[in-house]
Amino acid sequence: MSAGTIAVLDYGIGNLASAHRALVHLGADARLVQEAGDADGAAGVVLPGVGAFGRCAEALADSGLDKVARHALDNAVPFLGICVGFQLLYEGSEESPGTAGLGAIPGTVGRLPAGEKCPQIQWNPLRAVGARPSAILAGLPADPWMYFVHSFVPPIGPDTVATCDYGGDINAAIERDHIWGTQFHPEKSGTLGLAVLANFVARTGSSRGATEP
């Protein structure tokens, strides 16, 4: 893979095409990757995902692309997990007991709060949390609206940089050094979602000549 290319992990599940198209629209040199060796030298890695945690974890392992994800996580390569790809950053999920996640972030993914419609399928404004500046949310207005589709969510922790209200505060985005994750779908969240992806592209240094979000 050429220097500056973002690898979008194509393990047969998820919003792969839409995430890839959004990155290319932003001017990134992004490529769908199906073989682990094709991601060698990637400037950044994106792990999308929709559906069940266990099915996504198994498909990622079966494809061999879990090795790409683990290499990026362990070697300071900018990494973005989206929706279930975000959940896979954790140790496991109540949705799929006994199935291990990537374990980059401690904690277990849980079901949305009782009493709320499940899944959450709606636009919902983010609330920035924490005192430190967030690279994910850089340049965005206060309380930006993003699009969510999910039944489970990781716990709020020290890496959480944004929450949303759904029967109480829930984890919407995390940032730990080079590891970013969003429970919302930035590629489906209009101009503000593209701004989140543009922040990731800037973090990787990947560019073919950016297009305005």
Q: Could you confirm whether 185 is annotated as catalytic?
A: yes
Amino acid at the residue 127: R
Active-site residue, selected from the candidate residues 20, 150, 178, 185:
185
Contact status, residue 162 vs residue 134, Cβ threshold 8 Å: yes
Active-site residue, selected from the candidate residues 20, 175, 178, 187:
187
The C-alpha atoms of residue 2 and residue 25 are separated, in whole angstroms, by 19
CB atoms within 10 A of CB 124: 19
Question: Residue 158: which of 108, 212, 107, 120 has the closest Cα?
Answer: 107
Q: Could you confirm whether 164 is annotated as catalytic?
A: no
Amino acid at the residue 75: N
Residue 160 tokens read as 């959480």
Q: Which residues contact residue 195 at a Cβ distance below 8 angstroms, ignoring those fewer than 6 apart?
A: 139, 140, 213
Q: Could you confirm whether 150 is annotated as catalytic?
A: no
Active-site residue, selected from the candidate residues 56, 83, 150, 178:
83
The C-alpha atoms of residue 150 and residue 137 are separated, in whole angstroms, by 21
The C-alpha atoms of residue 28 and residue 211 are separated, in whole angstroms, by 9
Amino acid at the residue 179: I
Q: Which residues contact residue 111 at a Cβ distance below 8 angstroms, ignoring those fewer than 6 apart?
A: 94, 95, 118, 151, 152
Active site residues: 83, 185, 187
